[in-house]
């Protein structure tokens, strides 16, 4: 059918274009590009003391990177973050599972987790400094504390939301409490645990910067505060942009991890793009 | 002695409605028994206690009184002498079909190569060898329920318990699975207790139908149809099938009419 072939070619090209234009990545990139352009345009109208704009921030970023300050500050910040975040996950996941699975534990300790999740970070920082000093340890403690609660609460509610019938499958095959926990409760709550980890990334990064502000000035938080005190607004934004980029990448990494660990959930809920 | 002996089982639920304590008698003295190789269907209007009875036999719920004996042993909890097929299959969504079938064997402590081989054998029995690696969401409703049946059969139970296993399926799939269950039973002589509200299904599959009403056995009907049985379509014209189907319908209708009068 030569004649129809002739007409289908442009149609398929148009379809490809529509697919590209409607793809999530393209929409996101367009949105970011427009936001940066608007920021550049309006940012230039503002006194550089009170605001900055992307091109100035980019210049500051290049300078800070070439001088080595930005990379070394980033790795300085990263160390307590990795340690604190790991502690939060290692404690948060099992404690969340215990709370969700055992009524006694939930009744006895659930209230502390619920309350702790609303704990104001700024209020506890001075106390933590008394306990842990001003160095590496206090930063780890602050990051771990703040990231712990979203992971724990999310795991807890995930375990609670597992259908009773799925637990009964384990019971009907004479599974011990431990076997049911390992083979049913844990895999079923992976999506919730991952959601908790993603929420905790944000909290952990905030905790990291606050810890750097209030304890020994260091890392990215150190650059931010020093630049702010010198009214170097563009230089202040550079580490913030690094932080935001880091958060987005970490979030994407956790999402990818969920695809690997729990492909069934992603496919069941139709999140694939 | 019969393989399954259910003697005078009672079940009372405590309820609390608007602060007032109350008791609901879900089962008030149910007795029946099964010989090895028999299929018994339990049917009745919704709320008659049929599912509660099945859950007590499985050990998922405790009876308030009376006893359930399987193979001479009193039932207190779940055990490998009984295998459960759930109404909505309840496959573990992160396990492939074959891993789901192997689940019970895994909990039983069977080593991996043996249980994989066993699971493959049972998948073949339900005709799903080709879908062994698929995850549950990649299976149709009928296929999921076949995996559910294979999972329950794999542990080698004395009695297979089925809770409205085909109730959620469309009519064509249901008939296909009913025929397949008959074929599997003809091959394995598996003893089966099946809860169903589908009267056709009860008469087609069962040697005996236990009709329950308000927590009691209202009537027991023996179905004198030969085994192996032909399909539902072929049985429709059979006078025995018609008579038993009609009798069941009358029993349930009387009760429904009584309920309607009470409500009016």
CA distances from B106 to A162, A261, B244 (A): 21, 21, 42
- Per-residue pLDDT, B110: 92
Residue B119, min C-alpha distance to chain A (Å): 15
Nearest to A172 among B58, B135, B136 (CB): B58
Closest CA to A265 of B99, B137, B144: B137
Question: Is A169 in contact with B86 (Cβ distance < 8 A)?
Answer: yes
The larger pLDDT score, comparing residue A5 to residue B82, is at: B82
Output the CA torsion sign for B131, B137, B140, B142: positive
| Mean pLDDT in residue range A216-239 | 87
Predicted confidence (pLDDT) per residue in B96-124, tens digit: 999 999 999 999 999 999 999 999 999 99
Helix (H) or strand (E) segment spanning residue A105: helix A103-117
ipTM of the complex: 0.90
Instruction: Determine if the peptide bond prior to B156 is cis (ω within 30°).
Output: no
CA distances from B99 to B78, B91, B94, B258 (A): 21, 10, 9, 48
Question: Is B60 in contact with A171 (Cβ distance < 8 A)?
Answer: yes
Predicted confidence (pLDDT) per residue in B162-194, tens digit: 999 998 899 899 999 999 999 999 999 999 999
The CATH homologous superfamily to which domain B4-78+192-263 belongs is P-loop containing nucleotide triphosphate hydrolases (3.40.50.300)
Neighbours of A30 (CB within 10 A): 11
- Per-residue pLDDT, A15: 66
The token pair that represents B173 in the structure block: 């799939």
Average pLDDT over chain A, rounded to an integer: 87
Task: Identify the closest residue of chain B to A167 by CA–CA distance.
Answer: B90
3 state SS of B66: strand
Query: Looking at the predicted structure, is the pLDDT value of residue A196 above 70?
Result: yes
**Confidence tier at A13 by pLDDT (50, 70, 90):** low
| Ranges A41-50, A239-248, B75-84, B217-226: which has the least confidence | A41-50
β pairing state of B4-17 and B82-85: unpaired
Predicted confidence (pLDDT) per residue in B215-232, tens digit: 899 899 999 888 888 877
Domains, chain A, ranges and CATH?
2-43 (no CATH), 64-268 (1.10.3720.10)
DSSP A160-183: HTS-HHHHHHHHHTT--HHHHIII
Question: Is A169 in contact with B90 (Cβ distance < 8 A)?
Answer: yes
Average pLDDT over chain B, rounded to an integer: 91
Strands (E), B177-226: 191-195, 208-213, 216-222
Nearest to B90 among A165, A179, A265 (CB): A165
**Confidence tier at B94 by pLDDT (50, 70, 90):** very high
3 state SS of A195: helix
Selected for mutation to probe chain A from B52, B92, B147 (highest A CB count within 10 Å) is B92
Q: Starting from the edge strand earliest in sequence, which strands make up the sheet with B82-85, in order?
A: B82-85, B159-163, B191-195, B39-43, B208-213, B216-222
A186 in contact with B, Cβ within 8 Å? no
Strands (E), B186-264: 191-195, 208-213, 216-222
- Per-residue pLDDT, A3: 42
Residue A104, min C-alpha distance to chain B (Å): 21
Closest CA to B165 of B148, B151, B179: B148
C-alpha–C-alpha distance, residues A41 and B71, integer Å: 83
Which positions in chain A touch B108 (Cβ < 8 Å)? 173-174
**Confidence tier at B45 by pLDDT (50, 70, 90):** confident
| Mean pLDDT in residue range A222-245 | 89
C-alpha–C-alpha distance, residues B143 and B148, integer Å: 9
| Mean pLDDT in residue range A38-43 | 90
Predicted confidence (pLDDT) per residue in A137-194, tens digit: 999 999 999 999 999 999 999 999 999 999 999 999 999 999 999 999 999 999 999 9
Residue B79, min C-alpha distance to chain A (Å): 6
A168 in contact with B, Cβ within 8 Å? yes
Neighbours of A21 (CB within 10 A): 10
Query: Looking at the predicted structure, is the pLDDT value of residue A272 above 60?
Result: no
**In the A/B pair of chains, how many CB contacts fall below 8 A?**
61
- Per-residue pLDDT, A25: 84
The token pair that represents A19 in the structure block: 């697919």
Which positions in chain A touch B58 (Cβ < 8 Å)? 172
Task: Identify the closest residue of chain B to A264 by CA–CA distance.
Answer: B94
Query: Looking at the predicted structure, is the pLDDT value of residue B79 above 80?
Result: yes
Query: Looking at the predicted structure, is the pLDDT value of residue A56 above 60?
Result: yes
Neighbours of A252 (CB within 10 A): 11
- Burial class for B214, CB neighbours closer than 10 Å (0-12, 13-18, 19+): middle
- Per-residue pLDDT, B120: 96
| Mean pLDDT in residue range B129-140 | 93
**Confidence tier at A213 by pLDDT (50, 70, 90):** confident
C-alpha–C-alpha distance, residues B147 and B101, integer Å: 6
Question: Is A169 in contact with B92 (Cβ distance < 8 A)?
Answer: yes
Place of tokens 């009403």: B213
Which positions in chain A touch B93 (Cβ < 8 Å)? 188, 264-265, 268
- Per-residue pLDDT, A14: 66
Question: Is B90 in contact with A168 (Cβ distance < 8 A)?
Answer: yes
Query: Looking at the predicted structure, is the pLDDT value of residue A273 above 50?
Result: no
- Per-residue pLDDT, B192: 96
C-alpha–C-alpha distance, residues B99 and B256, integer Å: 43
Which positions in chain B touch A174 (Cβ < 8 Å)? 77-80, 107-108
| Mean pLDDT in residue range A67-96 | 93
**In contact, B161 and B193? CB cutoff 8 Å:** yes
C-alpha–C-alpha distance, residues A76 and A253, integer Å: 21
Predicted confidence (pLDDT) per residue in B240-260, tens digit: 888 898 899 988 888 778 777
Question: Is B107 in contact with A179 (Cβ distance < 8 A)?
Answer: yes
**In contact, B102 and B119? CB cutoff 8 Å:** yes
Question: Is A169 in contact with B94 (Cβ distance < 8 A)?
Answer: no
DSSP B257: H
Chain B, residues 139-158, CB within 8 A of chain A, namely 155
């Amino acid at each position: 059918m030569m004649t129809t072939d002739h007409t289908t070619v442009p149609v398929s090209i148009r379809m490809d274009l529509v697919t590209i234009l409607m793809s999530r990545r393209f929409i996101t990139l367009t949105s970011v590009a427009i936001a940066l352009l608007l920021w550049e345009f309006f940012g230039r109208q503002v006194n550089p003391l009170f605001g900055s704009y992307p091109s100035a921030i980019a210049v500051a970023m290049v300078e800070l990177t070439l001088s080595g300050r930005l990379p070394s500050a980033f790795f300085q910040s990263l160390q307590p973050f990795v340690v604190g975040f790991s502690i939060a996950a290692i404690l948060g996941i099992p404690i969340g599972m215990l709370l969700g699975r055992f009524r006694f534990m939930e009744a006895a300790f659930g209230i502390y987790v619920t309350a702790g999740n609303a704990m104001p970070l700024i209020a506890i920082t001075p106390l933590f400094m008394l306990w842990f000093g001003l160095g590496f340890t206090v930063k780890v403690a602050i990051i771990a504390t703040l990231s712990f609660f979203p992971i724990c609460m999310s795991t807890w509610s995930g375990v609670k939301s597992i259908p009773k019938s799925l637990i009964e499958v384990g019971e009907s095959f004479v599974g011990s409490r431990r076997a049911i926990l390992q083979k049913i409760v844990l895999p079923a709550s992976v999506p919730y645990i991952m959601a908790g980890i993603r929420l905790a990334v944000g909290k952990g990064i905030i905790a990291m910067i606050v810890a750097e502000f209030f304890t020994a000035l260091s890392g990215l938080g150190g650059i931010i505060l020093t630049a702010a005190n010198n009214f170097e607004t563009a230089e202040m934004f550079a580490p913030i942009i690094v932080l935001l980029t880091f958060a987005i990448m970490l979030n994407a990494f956790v999402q990818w991890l969920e695809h690997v660990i729990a492909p069934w959930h992603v496919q069941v809920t139709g999140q694939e793009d | 002695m019969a393989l399954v002996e259910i003697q005078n089982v009672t079940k009372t639920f405590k309820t609390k409605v608007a602060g007032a304590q109350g008791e609901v008698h879900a089962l008030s003295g149910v007795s029946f028994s099964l010989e090895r190789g028999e299929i018994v269907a339990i049917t009745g209007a919704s709320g008659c206690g049929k599912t509660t009875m099945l859950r007590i036999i499985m050990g998922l719920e405790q009876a308030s009184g009376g006893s359930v004996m399987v193979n001479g042993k009193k039932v207190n909890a779940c055990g490998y002498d009984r295998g459960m097929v759930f109404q909505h299959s309840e496959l573990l969504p992160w396990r492939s079909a074959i891993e789901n079938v192997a689940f019970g064997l895994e909990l039983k402590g069977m080593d991996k190569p043996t249980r994989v081989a066993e699971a493959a054998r049972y998948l073949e029995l339900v005709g799903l060898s080709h879908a062994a690696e698929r995850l549950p969401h990649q299976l149709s409703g009928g296929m999921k329920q076949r995996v559910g049946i294979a999972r329950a059969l794999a542990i080698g139970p004395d009695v297979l318990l089925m809770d409205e296993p085909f109730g959620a399926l469309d009519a064509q799939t249901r008939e296909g699975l009913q025929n397949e269950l008959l074929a599997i039973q003809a091959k394995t002589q598996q003893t089966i207790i099946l809860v169903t509200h589908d009267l056709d299904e009860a008469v087609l599959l069962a040697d005996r139908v236990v009709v329950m009403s308000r927590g009691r056995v209202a009537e027991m009907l023996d179905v004198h149809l030969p085994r192996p049985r032909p399909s539902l379509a072929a049985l429709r014209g059979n006078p025995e099938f018609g008579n038993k189907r009609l009798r069941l319908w009358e029993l349930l209708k009387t009760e429904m009419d009584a309920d309607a009068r009470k409500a009016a």
